[in-house]
């Protein structure tokens, strides 16, 4: 069982930046591919960013490409989401997720592929 704890959310203005962190309670963090998802009220959970086990591959949907950056520090068992140029449309609860992966370079885009989830952190962007 892996516990994931997100932090770093908050209330910001449009154009501001935030960095989310997700700490994992596992000694084998480097065997997990990681993802950040978000869910706004009345909407489905959507992928925001994903990173492979090896940190060599990342994926972003068009909605955040060029503004968000996912990274990981395997020595600290932590994955980050740097969010720049935030927009009101980015307002949501942000969740990190982990999937054990045999493959160093594979990224996973679907929520149902992930095994473990954090409790979420609220990000609110005012206009």
Pairing assessment for the beta strands 78-83 and 32-39 based on DSSP bridges: unpaired
8 Å CB contact between 100 and 77 = no
User: Tell me, what's the pLDDT at 1?
Assistant: 87
Token pair of 108, please? 């996973």
Q: Is the pLDDT of residue 55 over 80?
A: no
Backbone phi, then psi, for 111, in 5-degree steps? -60, -35
User: Across the chain, what does the average pLDDT equal?
Assistant: 96
User: Tell me, what's the pLDDT at 41?
Assistant: 92
Q: For the stretch 100-109, what's the b/e string if a residue is b when 16 or more beta carbons lie within 10 angstroms of its beta carbon?
A: ebeeeeebbe
Pairing assessment for the beta strands 68-73 and 58-59 based on DSSP bridges: unpaired
Top-confidence residue, 83 or 56: 83
Q: Coil, helix or strand for 6?
A: strand
Digit-coded pLDDT (tens) for 75-126 = 999 999 999 999 999 999 999 999 999 999 999 999 999 999 999 999 999 9
User: Tell me, what's the pLDDT at 56?
Assistant: 79
């Amino acid at each position: 069982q892996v516990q994931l704890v997100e932090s770093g959310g908050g209330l910001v203005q449009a154009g501001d930046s935030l960095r989310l962190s997700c700490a994992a309670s596992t000694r084998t963090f480097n065997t997990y591919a990681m993802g950040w998802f978000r869910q706004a009220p009345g909407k489905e959970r959507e992928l925001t960013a994903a990173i492979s086990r090896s940190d060599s591959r990342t994926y972003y949907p068009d909605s955040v490409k060029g503004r968000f950056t996912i990274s990981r520090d395997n020595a600290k068992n932590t994955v980050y989401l740097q969010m720049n140029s935030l927009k009101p449309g980015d307002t949501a609860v942000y969740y990190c997720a982990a999937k054990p992966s045999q493959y160093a370079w594979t990224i996973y885009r679907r929520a149902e592929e992930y095994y473990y989830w954090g409790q979420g952190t609220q990000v609110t962007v005012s206009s």
